[in-house]
Amino acid sequence: MFGIFKKHKSVDWSAKTFLSPANGKLIPIGKVSDPVFAQKAMGDGFAINPDSNDIYSPVSGKVTLVADTKHGIGISTDDGEEILVHMGIDTVDLNGEPFKVYVSKGDKISAGQKIATMNLDKVESAGKETTIIVVMTNSSDKGMKISLEPVTQIEHSELVAKV
């Protein structure tokens, strides 16, 4: 009645959790086609097959890296986790063309904040995969494992994983 009891989407982030960086299908890290990520050589994490161009931060923290080719963004959380948001597979070859990044190194950002766009059509027409990979690059140093929520389709900024 009057919309008072309507559930509103809100960003619910706390340390040791990850929000989805995009709308799409959740993929366990071991199932991505890039063997470096699939074998967790870069750290534990997860991936999303996106169905929209907008990319959001999975955590709150400070931007520590924006790749020259704009395909990767590094974020350090207040708890010292080092997070990499990697847009697409083998997209470094695209020299930044399909990406627009809205953050810079040194920026403080919030979980759920829009950080970039990836033109999915341009990535696919270049013969590349649009999979967005999120890894904690220092997970093995800290002895941490990421566990996924029991979902397949997910909206950006919804809880997707916990440490």
How many C-beta neighbours within 10 Å does residue 93 have?
A: 12
Collapsing DSSP to helix, strand or coil, 21 comes out as coil
pTM passes above 0.75? yes
pLDDT along the chain (163 residues), means of 10: 40 74 96 96 96 97 97 95 97 96 98 98 97 93 84 90 89
Whether residue 57 contacts residue 110, with contact meaning beta carbons closer than 8 Å, is answered with yes
Looking at residue 14, its pLDDT comes to: 60
Amino acid 15: pLDDT: 64
CA dist., res. 160 & res. 97, Å (int): 29
> Residue 148 CA to chain centroid, in angstroms?
13
Show which residues are catalytic: 86
Query: What is the set of domains in the chain, with CATH numbers?
Result: 17-149 (2.70.70.10)
CA dihedral 65→66→67→69, nearest 10 degrees, is 180
